[in-house]
Amino acid sequence: MSEGSPPNGPESPPDPVPQGDEPIPDSAYVAMHGDPRFVSLKRKLYTFIFPMSVAFLAWYLLYVFMSGFGRDIMGTVLFGNVNVALVFGLLQFVSTFGIAILYTRYARKKLDGDAIELRDELQNGNGGGGR
């Protein structure tokens, strides 16, 4: 094979591009942002994200606040070498995983169907048209 010849050889046709792998034009993304279904999808996403973020941040700040100003309470031994601060810290991890599980269930139930439908429309070249 010479340096200038393509890897498939000089006489072989180029490999076909699989359907759906063509780049999506920017205008389709812009049009999709105005689609009422996309707006509804974003609203459903934010309905979960904002309250859960506020709740987790409050929970985390309570832990930090108690660690700084509630040392007596946080130092209370529950059993053996385990105190309230250790349990609080472990519950931070538990709540993080809990939120991830809740989000997965929420997304599967409320978001995924619409998101897949909109993505397919974009990939098939008729995105943003609405219904």
What's the CA gap between 23 and 112, in Å, rounded?
Answer: 22
Check residue 53 and give its pLDDT: 96
Q: Is the pTM above the cut of 0.85?
A: no
What's the CA gap between 104 and 101, in Å, rounded?
Answer: 5
The string of pLDDT tens digits covering residues 98-113 is 999 999 999 999 999 9
Spans of all domains in the chain = 26-123
What's the CA gap between 63 and 85, in Å, rounded?
Answer: 8
Specify whether the CB–CB gap between 48 and 106 falls below 8 A: yes
Check residue 35 and give its pLDDT: 85
> What radius of gyration do the chain's Cα atoms show?
26
Check residue 124 and give its pLDDT: 79
What's the CA gap between 123 and 48, in Å, rounded?
Answer: 27
Residues of the chain where predicted confidence (pLDDT) is lower than 50: 5, 9, 14-18, 131
Q: What is the DSSP string of 14-71?
A: PPPPPTT-SPPPHHHHHHHHT-HHHHHHHHHHHHHHHHHHHHHHHHHHHHHHHHHH-H
